[in-house]
Amino acid sequence: MNVVLAESAGFCFGVDRAVSLTRKALAEHGSCWSLGELIHNRDVVDALRKEGLSVADDVESVPDGARVVVRAHGISRAERDVLQAKGCEILDATCPRVTRIHRIVERASAAGRQVVVFGDPEHPEVKGICGWCEGAVAVKDLDSFQNWAAFSGILQNAPLTVVFQTTSHKKTSEQTINSLKKSYTNAEFFDTICDATSIRQAEARALSESCGAMVVVGGAHSANSVHLAEICREACDTVFFVQSADELDTAKLSGIDRVGVTAGASTPSWIIKEVVNKMNEPEILKEEIVEETVPVAEEPTAVEEAPVVEEAPAAEEAPAAAPAEKTEMTFDELLEESIKTIYNGDTVTGVVAAIGATEITLDLPTKHSGYISVSEFTNDQPGVDINDLVKIGDEIQASVIRVNDVEGTVQLSKRRLDAAKNWGDIEASAEEGTVLEGKVSEENKGGVVINLKGVRVFIPASQTGLGRDVPMTELVGQTVRFKITEVNRARKRVVGSIRAIAQRERREKAEKIWSEIEVGKKYTGVVKSMTSYGAFVDIGGVDGMVHVSEISWNRIRKPDDVLSVGQEVEVYVINFDPEKKKISLGYRKPEDNPWTKFTDTYKEGDVATVKVVKFMPFGAFAEIVPGVDGLIHISQIANRRIGKPDEELTVGQEVEAKITAIDNEKQKVSLSIRALTAPAPARERAERSERPRRQPEPQGDALVYEISADGQATGFAPEEDEIVED
């Protein structure tokens, strides 16, 4: 059995974006909610539930203050307002194409126009769209609209704004628009069907025409999957619509030589693989899938649209031969050359006769005058003065774009000829994986463009290496390193990847780091992301984590109290695990350790001015130096017995206290005010005495003391973990 998998099967941009955003939120926060199912795939939703996603059937079921991911299909304006009123943190995963429809209908409604939405009235996307305007009507098809129009008495000059559900059938929508245009003179139509949907449907149609059977993988309640099945049934008699491999009966495919497989936009790649693996022979490994690209004469998706390189003359597949050495020509030869006919696509050689602001004039050895516009001379160096690139008298080869025999002129292009000559080099670069350099000349729909030797190389947004929220305009004008990933001469298409080179270089740097890493080694890194428990720092190909306790010697609540994403920092290695590929980093400097500063300044018996910072039942904590607190036990606050520390002290008060004990191992300090205020004999007795005799009262130089059930000090020091400062 020959299994043919459609090129665009599986997650579309909007679905992939929603799932990725949700997984990121779950990884960072542990849990979140979605209003309705995030996407129309039960397996993916179940997997996300296990990771911590809760699904609310309606907005009232969402808890106040919850973190809520807005599903790919979007929600209504009223639902969003309720979430905001509940104090929820909204993570918007609405597909950008759906958001565009929201803006269209919102503006139309504000202008007093009647909004008509063609789609499934019960679909969450359609409900959400209707929720962004007033009085919208959702209809399933043209017949439903006509019934509604007749019932509502809509006039032919009524101001209608018509939009379509993103997963609608392309052919049906075109028929609908053509029909309505004939009847409604004041109607505006928006083609809001997703480009990815159109390409997916066109591929399914082409594939089903050449296969004996089709398998459509997708959810039964997924509109785009249902439409795919309908399209396949139009051209193929045997079509199976399954949600997973378990539902596919391979026995029914017996005897069919060629089986096509396509999948809806909400179907993850692992489900598609399971279906294809089940159809293959048992000895075929799990990872192997027979893939075949189905060429479709459709535009690329808006997300990763690859622009078609301008057509180069077919006759110039190979570089033209260098002009032969000039020899004296006979009169007959000159005459024949002067009346020679020139055709589009020919290559001609001329001499620069004049250089203007917008074009270059060439003398040709024919009856024509040649012209090259500045834009057709080169686009590798935009903004460069043309006079710096060419001089009068220079000999130039160019390709013929257009011949005007009436006026005796020829439009030429040097850029296109250069592009044709460089195709071989580009193909070789693609095969060898050569690292290339080029300047990003423009942002295009769904990516950026690099001009490489006259050839436009398209870099899809997903291959730029930029984050989803980073505008691609940041790359324009930059010289970047990239590789060619796809060359298609027939379609004049060249696609490249910046990210692939960045990832390769990152791996090389990572290998170097792991080969040289050692405890205490210092690195200059960049803060990549932060969580509640620490910050991740890229030290040049490898990410290490700085725990919140290693960020500052002072107590901080969260990493962004000190650090920020994108900040360059100096860090050092505390520990590392080569097997688990984990590195623990430190940011706070050892020389800034407050305990070191304290021990360098004070010793036991010294008197210090301290600041009361906190009360506990057994005493008060006071700051000696920033970052080091000492305990004034309740028995060491006054010469008399007190019930609570605040009977004698207040938070923020500065007092003189004697350092009675320093525990370097546990980094604890005991203080005493009483030792400075008690009469001399009493102080001497307190210093000589190590344990209480008649009453369980602690001595002046004790570190810390347990408190009995009746609130009296026992004189015995509790274990370290029994004293809680917070």
* Catalytic sites, residue numbers: 125
CB-based contact 352:326 (threshold 8 Å): no
The length of the chain is 726
Q: Where are the alpha helices (DSSP H) in 123-282?
A: 124-130, 142-152, 170-183, 195-210, 223-235, 269-279
Query: What is the C-alpha radius of gyration for the chain, rounded to an integer number of angstroms?
Result: 38
Half-sphere exposure of 557 (CA within 13 A, CB side): 1
- Strand-strand pairing, 160-164 and 114-118: parallel
CA distance 570 to 523: 6
Alpha carbon 549 to its chain centroid, in Å, reads: 29
Tokens of 267: 């179907």
Spell out the residues 6+ positions from residue 421 whose beta carbon is closer than 8 angstroms to its own: 316, 319, 320
Long-range pairs of 633-636 with CB within 8 A, sequence gap ≥ 24: 633/670, 633/672, 633/698, 633/702, 633/704, 633/705, 633/713, 634/713, 635/674, 635/697, 635/698, 635/705, 635/713, 636/660, 636/670, 636/671, 636/672, 636/673, 636/674, 636/675, 636/698, 636/700
Give, rounded to a whole angstrom, the gap between the first and last alpha carbons of the chain: 69
- Residues β-bridged to residue 53: 32
Handedness of CA 590, 593, 597, 600 (dihedral sign): negative
107-111-112-116 Cα dihedral, nearest 10 degrees: -30
Quote the strand ranges of 27-126, DSSP E. Answer: 32-35, 53-56, 67-70, 89-92, 114-118
The pair of three-digit structure tokens given for residue 272, joined into one six-digit string: 């598609």
Residue 694, class by beta-carbon neighbours within 10 Å (0-12 exposed, 13-18 middle, 19+ buried)?
exposed
Phi and psi angles of residue 229, each rounded to the nearest 5 degrees, phi first: -65, -40
Nearest to 534 by CA among 513, 514, 552: 552
What stretch of H or E contains 84? Answer: helix 77-85
Cα atoms in the Cβ-side hemisphere of radius 13 Å centred on 707 = 13
Closest CA to 661 of 628, 634, 631: 631
- Quote the crossing angle between the two packed helices 195-210 and 170-183, to the nearest 10°: 120
Strand partners, 654: 611
Helix or strand run (H / E) with residue 26? helix 13-29
Phi, psi at residue 28, to the nearest 5°?
A: -85, -35
Which amino acid, 229? A
Q: State the Cα–Cα distance between residues 447 and 503, nearest whole angstrom.
A: 18
What does the block give as tokens for 1?
Answer: 């059995």
Buried residues in 622-659 as b, exposed as e (16+ CB within 10 A): bbbbebbbbbbbbbbbbeeeeeebeebbeeeeebebbb
Nearest-CA neighbor of 543 among 535, 551, 555?
535
